[in-house]
């Protein structure tokens, strides 16, 4: 089963302590390229996140954004009383100075609050214990794994659509092989008849001797030059292998791309040997459809 490299999921997980928001999106890429946007509390887990994602994904440029909210954080914060006392003393000193030196100066209490509100360290949170750190780590990695499982399912659904389109094109082309083989086998006979007619006319005009032997030699050379039997056999084999790869569970995008190049090479060679107009048309059809197949392969993991 093919898997697309394009996917998107957005989930929110919550336990008694934390609320975690995970957003993942991916696009085509030759290798697995991970980019994280994490809060400071989760930065130490990035290596483990990479290892976890690597077990689920093999290719694609993946953006992982995680937001963390600690529930009841206000109740857990403690007031830095010493810092508050220092800031109030500074304000009192400043107020006393302004009262003495600035005419008509009046102090308003809300000015105190505005000043204190700008102090980032007025409220502090206690350092998390080892047990709390371990609990956050377990919660985060478990939540990420759930999102990854959904992410893979999205990739599979998109991959199923690609697989249906790719295999329908490959099957339609495969149905053309009997016609290609018929035209290829008939080419020497047709060329022989054409050459014989031309040579007989030439004999009548010039009275050439031993022209029949020369005719068979020329046909043999032309048959070898225009025979695409080997290319047709290999191309047919590649088509069978291609369909087999599409049914595999593991990531096969690189294999399909390599096999496509082999298929395209055989078609090009077959086109260079084609002398029959019908075979030329079929070669053009193969090249057009295979190009569409490659566009789809670029999105396969």
Give pLDDT tens digits for 218-246: 555 555 566 778 888 999 999 999 999 99
Q: How many beta carbons lie within 10 A of that of residue 111, not counting itself?
A: 11
CA-to-CA distance for 7 and 153, rounded, in angstroms? 9
Tokens of 71: 């529930």
Nearest Cα neighbor of 297 from 266, 256, 251, 267 is 256
Q: Report pLDDT for 53.
A: 98
Domain-embedded: residue 26: no
pLDDT less than 50: residues of the chain? 192
Asked if 92 and 164 sit in the same domain, the reply is no
Q: How many beta carbons lie within 10 A of that of residue 58, not counting itself?
A: 16
Q: Report pLDDT for 215.
A: 55
Domain that holds residue 198: 159-298
Residues 6+ apart with CB under 8 A from 291: none
Domain-embedded: residue 28: no
Q: Report pLDDT for 60.
A: 95
Asked if 97 and 170 sit in the same domain, the reply is no
Asked if 165 and 103 sit in the same domain, the reply is no
């Amino acid at each position: 089963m093919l898997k697309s490299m394009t996917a998107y999921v957005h989930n929110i997980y919550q336990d008694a302590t934390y609320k975690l928001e995970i957003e993942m999106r991916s696009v085509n890429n030759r290798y697995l390229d991970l980019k994280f946007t994490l809060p400071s509390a989760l930065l130490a887990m990035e290596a483990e996140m990479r290892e976890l994602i690597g077990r689920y994904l093999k290719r694609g440029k993946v953006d992982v954004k995680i937001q963390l909210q600690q529930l009841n954080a206000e109740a857990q914060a403690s007031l830095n009383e010493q810092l508050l006392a220092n800031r109030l003393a500074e304000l009192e000193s400043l107020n006393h100075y302004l009262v003495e030196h600035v005419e008509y100066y009046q102090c308003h209490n809300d000015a105190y609050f505005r000043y204190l509100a700008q102090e980032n360290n007025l409220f502090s949170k206690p350092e998390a214990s080892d047990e709390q750190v371990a609990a956050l780590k377990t919660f985060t990695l478990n939540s990420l794994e759930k999102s990854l499982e959904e992410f893979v399912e999205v990739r599979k659904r998109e991959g199923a659509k690609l697989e249906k389109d790719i295999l329908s094109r490959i099957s339609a082309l495969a149905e053309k092989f009997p016609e290609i083989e018929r035209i290829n086998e008939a080419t020497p006979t047709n060329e022989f008849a054409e050459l014989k007619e031309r040579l007989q006319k030439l004999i009548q005009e010039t009275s050439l001797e031993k022209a029949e032997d020369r005719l068979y030699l020329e046909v043999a050379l032309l048959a070898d030059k225009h025979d695409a039997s080997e290319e047709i056999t290999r191309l047919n084999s590649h088509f069978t292998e291609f369909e087999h790869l599409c049914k595999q569970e593991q990531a096969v995008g690189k294999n399909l791309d390599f096999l496509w190049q082999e298929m395209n090479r055989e078609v090009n060679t077959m086109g260079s040997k084609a002398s029959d107009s019908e075979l030329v048309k079929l070669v053009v059809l193969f090249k057009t459809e295979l190009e569409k197949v490659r566009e789809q392969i670029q999105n396969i993991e």
